[in-house]
Structure 1
Amino acid sequence: MIPDTCLIILIILIIFNFNYYNLFYSFLLFIISYSYWKKDKMGFGDVKLLSILSLLLGKSIFSIIICSLFIVILVNLIKKTDKIPLGFYLSFSTIALFFLGVLQIDL
């Protein structure tokens, strides 16, 4: 479960960094992830987190998704689980890529 308070903090950051191009990426990812949620392939917290992160980061969200999926595949090779909480890996990838200097958040 992803707490809504964390998402509200991200929304406050978006107010200072709003961009119409980011709105396009967010809408695109919302439609794609919503269809996965309808098929019961991912949780709705992951849908909300992807949408809000894409509003904040724009096209950098795709590098986060690629990094997250790479980590999920590695973990799934070890654990062999059916359901994986994607929110943790999205958050971890965002923080890791930020501290590695790949992501730059201009507020």
Structure 2
Amino acid sequence: MAGDLRIGKLRDRIDVARPNRTEDASTGEILIAWETVARGLPAEIKTSQAEREAGSKQTQTTRHAITVRYRSDLAGETDRRLIVDGIACEITASIDPDRRRRWLQITAIATQ
């Protein structure tokens, strides 16, 4: 699949953010602020599932299958976030499907 991907299919744009951890001087609590490290990264996004979860709050979980050109800072990473259409998505998997460093296939989940 990813081996057959043509660069012209990367019509969507995403942002990449990484956590910036700091310690609160008064409480010692670790605070996380997200720092954008790449903007407007070309990608192919396929929304694979949206569901509602029952419970005390209604939430919608959207799963995305995202293909981007290979980036060493995203390969194997699950500590970063992708911003898709202005919504932060947690990376659950990031793989190089043919191990040739051409593409990355990323699975990301957005919960609203």
Scaled by the length of structure 1, what TM-score is found?
0.28
Max radius of gyration: which structure?
2
Higher helix residue share: 1
Scaled by the length of structure 2, what TM-score is found?
0.27
